[in-house]
């Protein structure tokens, strides 16, 4: 078998090689079991292995392997804690990236059902509809979970009918950005190229508006990045690497031009920053490798950027607005995967808030209902003025679990500066 996370390797999409690698990794996981309580994937894995008297993961059938792969929703918490992860052990275990490889292999060999493919196509049409006619899309998205409209949407579009979905905004972030008053001519400022991500562009433009206001406060001028579309994470996680590679090439071509022009690249959501930094160099075309590596090296998530300014003494800390006294902060899975620091915590404490950190997985769209229940209970039990989290999908799950709307850290900063809500 071949240990590889690079889709350009010849063995990456070979069925036997991929399934042998699944058997090797599952065998290591079965012997370790540190992740048994991380999500439903590992209990499923261990139960299927235990069906065989010798508990040999190599005896699992392809269908049993697929039953482990399918429920993974790419949170990455197992890789974060794994003692056998790349760089920590020669075993180089990374279950989420192996899941992506397995899904891509199955797609290449026609092992994806027609219903799944039809649902993906319908989902793409729904995304386009939400971008063009948000009010129409919200008739479905905003319907009560479990309702007839949602069940119909689940059949046609693949979105779970029992989970809350983020509604589409009436005005896109980029539309607002292009209409905003220009900064004073000749203002001395740093140039930032802002990659808003599809979440901020279509679902939460208020995060982007507050981010621009907070950066303005620091004397930092924002421009839109040369490419502002989706980072392609949903394609990657579905194993559609051909289309993902097309998105990567398109994004890095434009974003690399921003970097070479001297603009610093800032990304408004942690999942997108993680995909850009970790996956773009591994999935771009050979002729775009230099661009992808350049973009990956310069892509900084927005909260990371502001925390860096705070650490260097460059962040304005004259907060004269409405700063919360107590905050419960959800450290989202992909925000944690960006690095060991907790930039959101540092920013919130800078406003004077007492911060309670909750690190459980929120169980966003695609996760079984049981995932996120423990976090929901924790958030509901903490006495706090505000719930805060970096990931908008996780914040949607938090709203579903607790009935409380969660703010992004930059929204808390904006209010602490006395700015009108975005």
Q: How confident is the model at residue 270 (pLDDT cuts 50, 70, 90)?
A: very high
Length of the chain measured in residues: 422
Cβ(15)–Cβ(8) below 8 Å? no
Q: Which residue has the tokens 């008297």?
A: 53
pLDDT band at residue 255, thresholds of 50, 70 and 90? very high
Give residue 176's pLDDT band: very low, low, confident or very high (50, 70, 90).
Answer: very high
Per-residue pLDDT, 374: 83
Taking the CA atoms of 369, 371, 374 and 376 in sequence, report the sign of the dihedral they define.
negative
pLDDT at 14: 94
Residue 63: count of CB within 10 angstroms of its CB: 8
Query: Residue 249's closest CA among 285, 213, 218, 298?
Result: 285
Element (H, E) at 30: helix 15-32
* Residue 211: per-residue pLDDT: 96
Terminal alpha carbon distance of the chain: 51
* pLDDT of the residue at 422: 56
pLDDT at 258 over 70: yes
The pTM of the whole model exceeds 0.95: no
- Interval 38-52: pLDDT, tens: 888 999 999 999 998
Task: Assess whether pLDDT exceeds 70 at residue 118.
Answer: no
- For residue range 325-377, list pLDDT tens digits in order: 999 999 998 988 888 889 999 999 999 999 999 988 887 666 766 777 888 88
**Kind and range of the H or E element at 193?**
strand 190-195
Q: Residue holding tokens 């008053």? A: 181
Structure tokens at 227: 């490419």
What are phi and psi for residue 197, nearest 5 degrees? 75, 155
Q: Is the pLDDT reported for residue 147 higher than 80?
A: no
Q: Which two tokens stand for residue 406?
A: 């969660």
Above 60 in pLDDT, residue 131?
Answer: yes
| Per-residue pLDDT tens digits for 233-244 | 989 988 999 999
Residues 300-325 have a mean pLDDT of 95
Q: Are the C-beta atoms of 385 and 411 separated by less than 8 Å?
A: no
Backbone conformation region of residue 421, classed left if phi is above 0, alpha if psi is from -120 to 50, else beta: beta
**pLDDT given at position 52:** 87
Residue among 321, 297, 295 nearest 214 (CA): 321
Q: In angstroms, rounded to a whole number, what is the distance separating the alpha carbons of residues 218 and 213?
A: 9
pLDDT for residue 39:
82
pLDDT classification of 168: cutoffs 50, 70, 90 = confident
**Is the pLDDT reported for residue 181 higher than 90?**
no
> Alpha carbon 83 to chain centroid distance?
23
Contacts of 1 (CB under 8 A, 6+ apart): 11, 17, 20, 21, 23, 24
pLDDT at 191: 85
- pLDDT band for position 165 (50/70/90)? confident
Mean local confidence (pLDDT), 176-185: 81
Q: Given a cut of 90, is residue 199 above it in pLDDT? A: yes
- Asked if residue 160 has pLDDT above 70, the reply is no
- Mean pLDDT computed over every residue of the chain: 87
Position 415 scores a pLDDT of 96
Residue 169 contacts residue 141 (beta carbons within 8 Å) = no
Across the chain, which distance is largest between two alpha carbons, in Å? 75
Whole-number Å distance between alpha carbons of 195 and 266:
6
The two tokens of residue 173 are 């972030």
pLDDT at 111: 84
- CB-CB neighbours of 197 under 10 Å: 29
Choice between 138 and 246, residue whose per-residue pLDDT is larger: 246
**Cβ neighbours of residue 282 closer than 8 Å, sequence gap 6 or more:** 5, 6, 7, 8
Report whether 277 contacts 296 (CB < 8 A): yes
| CB-based contact 82:35 (threshold 8 Å) | yes
129 pLDDT exceeds 60? no
For residue 94, give the DSSP letter: -
Digit-coded pLDDT (tens) for 366-410? 676 677 788 888 888 888 999 999 999 999 989 888 888 999 999
Q: What is the mean pLDDT of residues 8-34?
A: 94
Here the tokens at position 418 are: 């006395």
pLDDT confidence bin for 212, thresholds 50/70/90: very high
**pLDDT tens, residue by residue, 52-105:** 888 999 999 999 999 999 888 888 888 888 999 998 999 999 999 999 999 999
* Lowest mean pLDDT across 113-117, 259-263, 321-325: 113-117
Q: What pLDDT does residue 25 have?
A: 96
pLDDT of residue 113: 60
Least confident of 57-71, 171-185, 274-288, 290-304: 171-185
- With tokens 């009010």, the residue in question is 135
Residue 113, CB-side half-sphere exposure with 13 Å CA sphere: 6
Q: Which of 106-110, 181-185, 343-347 has the lowest mean pLDDT?
A: 181-185
Nearest by Cα to 28 from 66, 56, 60: 56
Question: H or E element: which one contains 173?
Answer: helix 173-179
- Asked whether the predicted pLDDT for residue 6 surpasses 90, the reply is no
Distance of alpha carbon 40 from the chain centroid: 19
Point out the least confidently predicted range of 23-27, 115-119, 139-143, 201-205: 115-119
Of 368, 290, 278, 367, residue with least CA distance to 80:
278
């Amino acid at each position: 078998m071949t240990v590889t996370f690079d889709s350009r390797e010849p063995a990456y999409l070979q069925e036997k090689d991929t399934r042998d690698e699944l058997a090797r990794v599952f065998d290591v996981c079965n012997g370790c079991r540190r992740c048994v309580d991380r999500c439903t994937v590992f209990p499923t894995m261990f139960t299927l292995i235990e069906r065989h008297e010798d508990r040999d993961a190599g005896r699992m059938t392809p269908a049993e392997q697929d039953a482990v792969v399918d429920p993974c929703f790419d949170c990455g918490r197992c890789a974060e804690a794994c003692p056998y992860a790349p760089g920590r052990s020669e075993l180089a275990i990374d279950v989420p990236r192996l899941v992506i490889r397995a899904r891509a292999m199955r797609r290449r060999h026609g092992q994806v059902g027609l219903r799944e493919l039809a649902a993906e196509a319908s989902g793409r049409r729904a995304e386009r509809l939400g971008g063009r006619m948000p009010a129409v899309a919200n008739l479905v998205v905003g319907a009560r979970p479990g309702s007839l409209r949602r069940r119909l949407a689940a059949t046609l579009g693949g979105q779970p009918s029992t989970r809350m979905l983020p509604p589409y905004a009436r005005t896109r972030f980029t539309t607002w950005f292009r209409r905003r008053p220009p900064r004073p001519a000749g203002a001395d400022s740093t140039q930032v190229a802002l990659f808003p991500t599809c979440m901020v562009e279509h679902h939460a433009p208020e995060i982007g508006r507050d981010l621009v206001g907070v950066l303005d406060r620091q004397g930092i001028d924002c421009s839109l990045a040369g490419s502002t579309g989706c980072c392609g994470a949903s394609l990657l996680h579905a194993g559609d690497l051909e289309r993902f590679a097309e998105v990567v090439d398109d994004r890095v071509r434009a974003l690399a031009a921003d970097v070479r022009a001297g603009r610093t690249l800032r990304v408004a959501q942690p999942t997108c920053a993680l995909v850009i930094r970790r996956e773009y160099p591994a999935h771009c075309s050979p002729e775009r490798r230099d661009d992808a590596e350049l973009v990956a090296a310069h892509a900084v998530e927005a909260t990371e950027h502001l925390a860096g300014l705070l650490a260097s003494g460059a962040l304005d800390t004259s907060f004269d607005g409405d700063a919360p006294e107590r905050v419960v902060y959800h450290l989202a899975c992909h925000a944690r995967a960006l690095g060991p620091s907790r930039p959101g915590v540092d920013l919130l404490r800078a406003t004077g808030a007492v911060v309670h950190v909750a690190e459980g997985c929120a169980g966003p769209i695609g996760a079984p209902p049981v995932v996120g229940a423990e976090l929901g209970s924790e958030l509901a039990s903490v006495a706090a003025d505000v719930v805060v989290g970096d990931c908008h999908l996780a914040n949607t799950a938090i709203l579903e679990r607790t009935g409380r709307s969660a703010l992004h850290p930059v929204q808390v900063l904006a209010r602490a500066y006395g700015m009108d809500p975005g």
